[in-house]
Amino acid sequence: MSTGWSLYVILLVVVSLVGCAWLLWVNRTASVDDVGQGEPLPSEHDGIVELNHPLPAWWSWLFVVTLVFAALYLVAYPGMGAFRGLLGWSSQGQYEAEVEQAEGLYGPIFAGYAAQPIPALVDDDRAVGMGQRLFLNHCATCHGSDARGGRGYPNLTDGDWLYGGAPEQIVASITHGRVGVMPPLGAALGGDPGVQAMAQYVLSLSGREHDAALAAQAAPQFATLCAVCHEPDGRGKQAMGAPNLTDDVWLHGGRLADIEQQIHLGRINQMPAHRDLLSPEKIHLLAAYVYGLSTAPDGVP
Ligand code: HEC
Ligand code: HEC
């Protein structure tokens, strides 16, 4: 806080306190000229009159106590501009002390799990429970509380991986994030007719109903334009995050129009990096939870 702001805050605090004290002082007796104590005051509202009584003493004293409390508080705690108070308390300090206490309590538990390989944690109920709570806090917004994802957000329970489902690949996805980039290829395919033919070819890859003549027409272009990322057989390449196109699992929708749009416009899809948000020990537990989801037969460990 700059000195100017500090002085401004101090001024506001002092003026309010002095103002309250002054109000209290001038109202300690209701001194209305020419009206004795207990007599009706001249003003009358709809037939209701007020009697001339001083404020009850206990009431005034309550305010005095509040003012004294305020003064003592402002000496002990922050409140007077940049003055930190004699006790040295701060919300930041309290937060840090609580975090330190929590780390002292949970640090050894996290460290114990970090020392074990991820597949070994899948059967440890407490480790999985901790991983699940971290998942609900940090990942469920995008991947869903059941980790089944949604359009554009991969399902993490199905054993179908963009970047690989081995423990170290999952750790890398969480730690460094991922960016999936597919360039727009509408122009390279010669506009709408080329895109429509290519979409038929993509349908054929997963054995879906398609126009065989159009698909055959697009096959050579798949080899030149798409195979670099999706591999010649269409099974995808994890190093690029290029999805398997043969499994009828669709990240961005499996309708013909979705596939045509993907080919036409391409896409950039991002998983944010979490290395600055979560310690390596927490990422280890999260990876164990995700790994367990996809290796369990029903997707639920
Ligand atoms: C802001 C949304 C968002 C958040 C938060 C998020 N993710 Fe993701 N995640 C994505 C997207 C989008 C992708 C797919 C990226 C792509 O298509 O290239 C992804 C991909 C992944 C992958 C790779 C999946 C694969 O098939 O290879 C894993 C593993 C993953 N996320 C786990 C997590 C975990 C664990 C968390 C919590 C720490 C998390 N994500 C938080 C959006 C998110
Ligand atoms: C530079 C690499 C690259 C090239 C070239 C490329 N793709 Fe892709 N493709 C990707 C990536 C990466 C994704 C996933 C994007 C994401 O992370 O969401 C993708 C996604 C797709 C999808 C959506 C799959 C789904 O599950 O929803 C389709 C369909 C597709 N590509 C078809 C093609 C076709 C057809 C071509 C050639 C005309 C092609 N791609 C060329 C990298 C590429």
In whole angstroms, what is the distance from residue 23 CA to residue 55 CA? 12
Q: Decide if pLDDT at 196 tops 50.
A: yes
For the CA of 286, the nearest atom of ligand 1? 35
Query: Whose Cα sits closest to atom 6 in ligand 2?
Result: 226
pLDDT-derived band at 112 (thresholds 50, 70, 90) equals very high
Ligand nearest to the CA of 230: 2
Q: If pLDDT is split at 50, 70 and 90, which confidence band does 300 have? A: very low
For ligand 2, residues with CB inside 6 Å are: 180-183, 185, 198, 202, 225-226, 228-230, 240-243, 245, 250-252, 259, 262-263, 267, 269
Query: Among 133, 143, 170, which residue has the most ligand 1 atoms within 8 Å of its CB, making it the best to mutate?
Result: 143
pLDDT of 31 reads 59
Which distant-in-sequence residues (6+ apart) come within 8 Å of 195 by Cβ? 185, 186, 189, 260, 263, 264
CB atoms within 10 A of CB 8: 13
| CA gap 37, 30 in Å, rounded | 8
Ligand 1 pocket (Cβ < 6 Å) reads 138-139, 141-143, 152-154, 156, 161-163, 170, 173-174, 178, 180, 241, 269-272, 274, 286, 290
C-alpha span between 22 and 149 (Å, rounded) = 64
Residue 33 has pLDDT above 70, yes or no: no
Contact 41, 13 (CB under 8 A): no
Nearest to 194 by CA among 263, 242, 116, 128: 263
CA angle 53, 56, 59 (to 5 degrees): 140
Amino acid identity, position 194: G
The answer to whether 275 touches 178, Cβ cutoff 8 Å, is no
Choose which residue among 132, 155, 271 to substitute to test ligand 1 binding: the one with the highest number of ligand atoms within 8 A of its C-beta. Answer: 271
Q: Does the structure show a pLDDT above 80 at 281? A: yes
Contacts 24+ apart (CB under 8 A), 149-158: 151/251, 151/252, 151/253, 152/251, 152/252, 152/269, 154/251, 155/249, 156/290, 156/293, 156/294, 157/293, 157/294, 157/299, 157/300, 158/249, 158/294, 158/299
C-alpha span between 166 and 32 (Å, rounded)? 87
Summarize pLDDT for 83-108 with one digit per residue, the tens: 999 999 999 999 999 999 998 998 99
Distance, in Å, from the CA atom of 269 to the CA atom of 206, rounded to the nearest integer, reads: 23
Cα 56 to chain center, whole Å?
A: 53
Closest ligand 1 atom number to CA of residue 274:
38
| Exposed / middle / buried, residue 187 (Cβ in 10 Å: 0-12, 13-18, 19+) | exposed
Could you give the CA distance from residue 232 to residue 241 in angstroms, rounded to a whole number?
15
Quick one: pLDDT band at residue 40, thresholds 50, 70, 90? confident
Chain position carrying tokens 């750790």: 171
Q: What's residue 186's pLDDT?
A: 96
